[in-house]
Structure 1
Amino acid sequence: MLTKWLRLFPGLPQQVAEARYFVAALMEAEGPRAVDDAVLITSELASNAVRHSRSGRQGGWFGVSVRFEDDRIRIEVIDEGGDNEPQLLDATEQQEGGRGLLMMAALAKDWGVNERLHGRSVWADLARAGA
């Protein structure tokens, strides 16, 4: 059975918290561990959308999609695109920032980036309990 939710948010830093609340409410039935993992993933992806894409510009927006499937939950953040593609950095690099995707990838069963006509989406899959 497939259930999908989508919500759009203004591309403002304070809207990242609203995105976390949205996902937490949807994930409640999956249990506290799943809620915590989903909220952390949402926080990282939404923050990156606002900070590193055109979504953070005046009048920008980002979307959060949560799709429940039989064996997984996909959290996807859609943004307005940017100059650089999200990528994992080596944890030993002496660069400020860039460790959030490493943390997100450690929690996720799988993750990836999809380029879109007018932007991009970054998604992460969580395994469902019992799957």
Structure 2
Amino acid sequence: MEAEGPRMVENAVLIVSELASNAVRHSRSGRKGGWFLVIVVLDDDRVRIEVIDEGGYDRPQLLAVNDWEEEGGRGLLLMATCAKDWGVKERTHGRSVWAELARAGA
């Protein structure tokens, strides 16, 4: 999805909010003394948002259509709808979840 200006900012804020709250809720980062890192990179053609956390037991994944009655899981789907692309990367001491927004005209 392409966006610029206020819509780009709204989408970026939504993605940061979702990924950061997931880091606290669903990873070891939510424990006392836990941490997570938010990285935002602005290029000519994209905005890349990455949240690095301490990892958890379950890999982040989109809800299946038949799981809509389950509590939670919709935020990642909403984030994926706003993003041009997204993914998960396991790291030595945690996990990275990233999303990219395409800038208008890119």
TM-score in terms of structure 2 length: 0.92
Are positions 1:68 and 2:64 aligned together? no
| Match among 54, 57, 60 for residue 83 of structure 1 | 57
The alpha-carbon deviation at position 101 of structure 1 amounts to: 0.6
AA paired with 2:100? D
Are positions 1:53 and 2:30 aligned together? no
1:108: which partner in 2?
83
Whether contact under 8 Å (1:110, 1:125) holds in the other structure is yes
CA distance in 2, matches of 1:82, 1:104: 20
CA distance in 1, matches of 2:53, 2:94: 6
User: How do 1:1-131 residues align onto structure 2 when only pairs under 5 Å count?
Assistant: 31-93=5-67, 94-131=69-106
The alpha-carbon deviation at position 90 of structure 1 amounts to: 1.8
Give the superposed CA RMSD.
Answer: 1.0
* Larger RCO of the pair (alpha carbons < 8 Å, separation 6+): 2
**SS of the counterpart of 2:55?**
coil
CA distance in 2, matches of 1:114, 1:67: 17
The alpha-carbon deviation at position 129 of structure 1 amounts to: 2.2
Q: Runs of 4+ in structure 1 displaced over 2 angstroms?
A: none
CA deviations 1:46-99 (Å, max 9, x no partner) are: 000000000000100000000112211100000000000000012441211101
Whether contact under 8 Å (1:108, 1:125) holds in the other structure is yes
Query: Could you list the runs of 5+ residues in structure 2 that have no partner in the other structure?
Result: none
Q: Percent of counterpart pairs with the same letter?
A: 75
CA deviations 1:86-120 (Å, max 9, x no partner) are: 00012441211101111000000000001110000
AA paired with 1:122? V
1:17: which partner in 2?
none
